[in-house]
Amino acid sequence: MAVADWPPIEKMFTSTTPGRALASRFVAGDNLAEAVAVARRLNDDGCLVSLDLLGEEVADRESAGHAVAEYLECLDQIESQGLDGNISIKPTQLGLAFDEELANQALERLGKRAAEIGTTVTIDMEDSRYTEATVRMFERGQAGTQNFGIAIQAYMKRTATDLERLGGLGGHIRLCKGAYVEPSEIAITTKAGVDGAFAVYLTELMMRRDVTPAIATHDEELVALALDLAKDRDESFEFQMLYGVRGDLQSRILEEGHPLRIYLPFGSQWYPYLTRRVAERPANVWFFVKALIGSR
């Protein structure tokens, strides 16, 4: 069991003011209304947004149904508030962990509603237990309303094959480094190795005409590489970054006139998301520790 999965650690974060303060740096609010207000502000600043209802690994049909209802509400708000945004979903939030068909039907419903209002649905990529089924979900979605995107993780050794497999399906491909702990049999585990793989896939994606690359990184060197490759690309692409991460780099990209979408998580189920943000940058935890000491 990872330290973050130990119930007392989770309780320490979720039930204390410093824990919630740390979460609020990365999470747009506890509910949709708060997230919509942040989305409006980001749109006004020139950013696109991707609304992400926090929650994953749901274990029953009822919870999966709640997630679908909340996402439909989210799409209604995007339409009624005239937001420039789409939604990002985790397949296990739609029931993938126990019923792939249920998750597919939910995704199709969301895809149809998103198409009605002229927007898209990005399928987040979770840990390797779900990679194959997630790729299948994207394939099925694209065979229908054709307004889907999928996140692909540079650290996975299968990614080269997946990118080949997804060729010709259109949609958008969000290239990210990968946020889960995976064994070395199936994933690259060194930072240099992951960064190198990202650069190779980025180069390939930026040459492809059949997909819209969504470059999801805060790594300045990779952003610079993307900008260099973009000089030879007439078709669209966008940068994607996480809410609360590298605001300076986000501002610079906007100032230079490049499209930037902010991934905007909201909702009460923020703990797993927060643990991934802390794992990427352990220094984040010092903010929590200092606040915790200060509050005593």
158 is catalytic: no
The span from the CA of 44 to the CA of 84, in Å, is 10
> Which residue lies nearer to ligand FDA by CB, 77 or 159?
159
- At closest approach, how far in Å is the CB of 25 from ligand FDA? 8
Residue 262 near residue 250 (C-beta atoms within 8 A): yes
124 is catalytic: yes
Binding mask 59-88 for ligand FDA (x = CB under 6 A): ------------------------------
Q: What is the Rg, in whole angstroms, of the alpha carbon atoms belonging to the chain?
A: 18
Residues 220-279 that bind ligand FDA (CB under 6 A): 240-242, 245-246, 263, 277
Stretch that binds ligand FDA, among 60-68, 102-110, 227-235, 280-288 (CB under 6 A): 280-288
- At closest approach, how far in Å is the CB of 296 from ligand FDA? 25
280 binds ligand FDA (CB under 6 A): yes
Residues 167-186 that bind ligand FDA (CB under 6 A): 174, 176-180
139 binds ligand FDA (CB under 6 A): no
- Between the two ends of the chain, the Cα-to-Cα distance in Å is 29
The span from the CA of 73 to the CA of 70, in Å, is 5
Instruction: Give the residue from 124, 35, 118 showing the smallest Cα distance to 84.
Output: 118
Catalytic residue among 174, 219, 261, 277: 174
The span from the CA of 62 to the CA of 84, in Å, is 30
E runs forming strands in 38-160: 48-53, 85-89, 121-123, 148-153
Residue 275 near residue 4 (C-beta atoms within 8 A): yes
Binding-site ranges for ligand FDA (CB under 6 A):
124-125, 151, 153, 174, 176-180, 216-219, 240-242, 245-246, 263, 277, 280-281, 284
